[in-house]
């Protein structure tokens, strides 16, 4: 297969050959999928790429095809990442992985590579997430390792499901895991290992150690050996290592195709502010989470942490039904709204949430309006599609 060709969503990937592949959400309409395939093939041809996988960057499923950014990841990069994760988790041929994250997501695809290298078994469950069915799969197949996102952990906790005895680690990534949810899951026996990673790094570059399960305290994720990191002058995380992307590709509004390598001297600058403590990392917030309200600086990441803590103390069962949103404001530039899809508009509960939150933040950070939406748009992994949400609510 030449560089200008790429197979779409192959059932099996040969990790040693030079074939290119493109992995897309099967929900993409055929016309848009065709456009993305053409994009991947064109950039592969320009750069003479071989042995690469093209994946849409996180959040792209919420955008029109003209805004989708594809990332090229080499098979060698995936292999380096998988080997490092296997060593960190002491994976062996006696392990059995459960693959519940989709293959067009690096967290799901990474499971296949790790299992291939360690000769461990993989049990796939790609049906629509359903907590009772997945829990039964965990038990019946004596699963020992699984990667999940916080939304899936939340559902297991809400169901009061206790961790199966054979399960030795649950790698949690794809979103910020709150300490409250971590503690709830640990009380039910779930062996959670918080992780930090990116599509651009072929999955995780830091994961809590197995020894952290000996303590009830929520651990920081520890750097894996294949990655290096530092902070730039702005305080953003920079990453260097064998698992980094090769390049991006994107179609412009005029239908032209652009491609670029975002690395500088081997370093990739993320959009994340993090707390680094030697080999440990804790996610703080994304660059676009930092806002100015009437000229005053604030962080949506911090405000959402405050809101989540209050929500957990009032009614944790509605976690998926209420959001804190930075809304456009003609007067202030940005203002804070509470967005919900709670049936019946439970005004008493929402008023309690709003008043409790407002007491703990600065005056300019207070909730100024409650907005209702019939459905909160989310990705297949449960992430809020913020761009789509704001377009539906505010037309931008």
- E strand map for 12-148: 21-23, 52-56, 69-74, 96-99, 121-124, 145-148
Pair (55, 190) in one structural domain: yes
Pair (112, 254) in one structural domain: yes
Pair (58, 119) in one structural domain: yes
Distance CA 259, CA 200 (A): 15
Classified as helix, coil or strand, 133 is helix
* CATH number of the domain enclosing 222: 3.40.50.12780
> For the stretch 350-364, what's the b/e string if a residue is b when 16 or more beta carbons lie within 10 angstroms of its beta carbon?
beebbebbbeebeeb
Pair (275, 309) in one structural domain: no
Q: What are the C-alpha distances in Å from 282 to residues 178, 222, 279?
A: 11, 9, 11
Q: Say how many domains are in the chain.
A: 2
Name which of 252, 286, 270 is nearest 383 in CA terms.
286
Q: At residue 343, does pLDDT exceed 90?
A: no
Of residues 362 and 5, more confidence is placed in: 362
Mean pLDDT, residues 194-214 taken together: 96
Please tell me the predicted confidence (pLDDT) of residue 175: 65
Pair (33, 127) in one structural domain: yes
Please tell me the predicted confidence (pLDDT) of residue 1: 44
Please tell me the predicted confidence (pLDDT) of residue 3: 47
Classified as helix, coil or strand, 292 is strand
Mean pLDDT, residues 181-193 taken together: 96
- Say what the alpha-carbon torsion angle 268, 239, 25, 149 is, to the nearest 10 degrees: -150
Last residue of a domain, one of 285, 304, 327: 285
Classified as helix, coil or strand, 365 is helix
* CATH number of the domain enclosing 342: 3.30.300.30
Q: At residue 248, does pLDDT exceed 90?
A: yes
Q: At residue 29, does pLDDT exceed 90?
A: no
Q: What percent of the chain has pLDDT over 90?
A: 67
**Residue 7: which pLDDT band, with cuts at 50, 70 and 90?**
confident
Pair (273, 210) in one structural domain: yes
Of residues 379 and 54, more confidence is placed in: 54
Q: At residue 6, does pLDDT exceed 80?
A: no
**Residue 2: which pLDDT band, with cuts at 50, 70 and 90?**
very low
pLDDT tens across 306-318, in order?
Answer: 999 899 899 988 8
pLDDT tens across 125-176, in order?
Answer: 988 889 999 999 999 999 999 999 888 998 899 899 999 999 999 999 866 6
Distance CA 269, CA 82 (A): 22
Last residue of a domain, one of 285, 307, 336: 285
Q: What percent of the chain has pLDDT over 70?
A: 95
pLDDT tens across 221-239, in order?
Answer: 999 999 999 999 989 999 9
Q: At residue 59, does pLDDT exceed 80?
A: no
Last residue of a domain, one of 260, 285, 310: 285
Distance CA 294, CA 283 (A): 26
Please tell me the predicted confidence (pLDDT) of residue 58: 59
Domain that holds residue 322: 294-394
Pair (272, 316) in one structural domain: no
Pair (277, 299) in one structural domain: no
Name which of 83, 61, 69 is nearest 271 in CA terms.
69
Angle at 275 between CA 290 and CA 319, to 5 degrees: 60
Q: At residue 44, does pLDDT exceed 70?
A: yes
**Residue 65: which pLDDT band, with cuts at 50, 70 and 90?**
very low
* Chain-centre distance for alpha carbon 260: 23
């Amino acid at each position: 297969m030449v560089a200008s060709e790429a197979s779409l969503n192959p059932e099996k990937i040969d990790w040693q050959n030079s074939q290119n592949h493109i992995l897309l959400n099967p929900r993409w309409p055929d016309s848009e999928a065709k456009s993305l395939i053409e994009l991947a093939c064109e950039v592969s041809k320009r750069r003479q790429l071989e042995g690469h996988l093209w994946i849409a960057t996180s959040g792209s499923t919420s955008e029109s095809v003209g805004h989708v950014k594809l990332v090229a990841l080499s098979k060698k990069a995936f292999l380096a990442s998988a080997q490092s994760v296997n060593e960190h988790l002491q994976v062996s041929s006696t392990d059995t992985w459960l693959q519940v994250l989709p293959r067009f997501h690096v967290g799901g695809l990474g499971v296949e590579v790790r299992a291939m290298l360690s000769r461990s078994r993989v049990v796939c469950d790609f049906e629509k997430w359903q907590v009772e069915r997945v829990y039964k799969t965990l038990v019946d197949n004596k699963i020992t390792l699984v990667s999940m996102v916080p939304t899936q952990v939340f559902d297991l906790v809400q169901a009061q499901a206790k961790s199966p005895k054979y399960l030795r680690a649950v790698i949690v990534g794809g979103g910020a895991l709150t300490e409250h949810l971590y503690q709830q899951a640990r009380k039910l026996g779930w062996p959670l290992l918080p992780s930090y990673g990116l599509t651009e790094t072929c999955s995780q570059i830091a994961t809590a150690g197995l020894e952290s399960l000996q303590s009830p305290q929520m651990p920081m994720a520890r750097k894996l050996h294949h990655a290096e990191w530092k902070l730039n002058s702005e305080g953003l995380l920079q990453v260097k290592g064998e698992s980094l992307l090769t390049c991006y590709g994107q179609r412009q509004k005029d239908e032209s195709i652009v491609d670029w390598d975002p690395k500088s001297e081997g370093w990739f600058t993320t959009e994340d502010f993090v707390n680094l403590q030697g080999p440990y990392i804790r996610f703080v917030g994304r660059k676009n989470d930092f806002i100015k309200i009437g000229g005053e600086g604030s962080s949506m990441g911090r405000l959402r942490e405050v809101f989540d803590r209050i929500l957990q103390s009032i009614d944790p069962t509605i976690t998926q039904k209420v959001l804190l949103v930075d809304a456009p404001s003609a007067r202030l530039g940005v203002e804070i709204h509470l967005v919900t899809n709670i049936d019946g508009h439970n005004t008493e509960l929402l008023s309690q949430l709003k008043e409790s939150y407002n007491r703990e933040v600065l005056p300019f950070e207070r909730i100024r309006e409650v907005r209702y939406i019939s459905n909160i748009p989310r990705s297949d992994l449960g992430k809020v599609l913020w761009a789509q949400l704001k377009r539906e609510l505010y037309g931008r």
